[in-house]
Structure 1
Amino acid sequence: MDEREVSTPEADRGRDAGPPGPGSPSSPADPVLDEVTAVARAQDGDLAAFEALVDRYQAPIFRLAFRVLHDRPAAEDVVQETFVAAWRKLPTLIEPAAFRGWLYQVATRRSLDLLRRRRPQVSLDTDSAPELPGPAWEDPASSAERRAQLDELRRVLDALPEDLAVCWRLKELDGLAYAEIAAALGIPESTVRGRIARARRTLVERMEAWR
């Protein structure tokens, strides 16, 4: 992505102090502020606008990092590092409308960097995973079967080559478009489509017993 330097005295002072946290002094945040406007204001050093973006994306970024790392503390670190980097580098973003894909790019690269440093050990401890949605009530047999199916899916995903698994997770679990995934990973869109297709074929084959 092309970058340009944009800076204001107010933005520079705010960025020198680090990203805002809960209760940071700033103008009141507009709860219905649209994203493009929030990004543009944050680029000018508006802390309340940036806090609105953090509130909107911290949960999705955590889910992305956790799905890559399978480690809650590490995923929380990625979230923190992602928003620190976003606050500092936000003035270089040319198009405010591209913020979502740009933020995912930052988070994905940090997650993958950490994953590569931690290989080959990846935890399969589902007790530490965020709760997955299910029925409000189900009988113990059904609950056990559903959990076993989810455990098997995690094992299959963990067995996928890293490049296939990351593309599949970004598409199927985080809902990114092919172009956004391509931008996040720095690869052609055609490569993204190919990797997701291969991942889907593998998942269908290895989960056949659960169909």
Structure 2
Amino acid sequence: MTEAGSEPPNMEDLVRRAQQKDEQAFAVLYTTYLHQINMFLHKKMNNDHMARDLAQDTLFKAWRNLASLKEPAAFKSWLYQIANHSFLDLQKRRKKIATVDIASCQENTYHLQVEGPEDGYISKELFYEALDLMKPKHRDCLLLYVHENKSKAEIADMLGIKENSVDKYLSRARQELRSIYALIVEREKDQ
């Protein structure tokens, strides 16, 4: 916290101090960015518990590797890149876990189904399923632009892409999301 009349701490200065293992400086960075990183990850995975764990893990990795950051002004973008890589690593680990075909689980279970309030959440679940199936760069651009209200320059910086590519990714992301969502809805109707 700042004293009355004093200016808030300069983020670049905090990063430099944290790079020198100043734990108090990093604590300020941690509190400043934890919620933002958590929300970014929550939008990607629709699982608050996992997003919180991954956000904390992201900041732990940042603390551990802070000395490798060459440009303190790029801390926020670097942090989002760590979060994105952590998310992609989690996705890879999840794919390696053996899964059971959902169709085989649903056979002969219709008599066990009862209508309830969860029916209202189906479209939200289908939407998040569609987001999950999108190409990662497309999904990330869309989430940062729509849910995080980031500018195209900020998105380019956070994802390590050219700013003029952001429009292309956003356009493709919208088309991809519509197509995947339509396919999922059709699949649900057929079941």
TM-score normalised by structure 1 residue count: 0.60
Instruction: Single out whichever of 189-198 and 53-62 deviates more from structure 2.
Output: 189-198
Bigger proportion of residues as helix: 2
Structure 1 counterpart of 2:17, from 41, 44, 48: 41
Q: Following superposition of structure 1 onto structure 2, how do residues 1-211 of structure 1 map, counting pairs within 5 Å? A: 30=2, 32-119=8-95, 153-201=127-175
Divergent runs of 4+, >6 A: 204-207
Q: What letter corresponds to residue 98 of structure 1 in structure 2? A: A
Alpha-carbon RMSD across the aligned residues, in angstroms, is 3.3
2:175 and 2:62 map into 1 onto residues whose CA distance is 35
- Please list every run of 5 or more consecutive structure 2 residues that lacks an aligned counterpart in the other structure: 98-118, 183-191
Superposition deviation, residue 96 in structure 1: 1.8
User: CA, structure 1 residues 30+93, in 2 after alignment: closer, same or farther (shift >3 Å)?
Assistant: farther
Residue pair 1:68, 1:112 contacting (<8 A) in 2 also: no
Could you give the per-residue CA deviations for residues 100-120 of structure 1, whole angstroms, max 9, x where no partner exists? Answer: 111111111111221233249
Percent identical across equivalent pairs? 33
Larger radius of gyration between Structure 1 and Structure 2 = 2
- Please list every run of 5 or more consecutive structure 1 residues that lacks an aligned counterpart in the other structure: 1-28, 122-143
Residue pair 1:78, 1:107 contacting (<8 A) in 2 also: yes
Q: What letter corresponds to residue 77 of structure 1 in structure 2? A: D
Residue pair 1:171, 1:178 contacting (<8 A) in 2 also: yes
Instruction: Single out whichever of 45-54 and 149-158 deviates more from structure 2.
Output: 149-158
1:163 and 1:175 map into 2 onto residues whose CA distance is 16
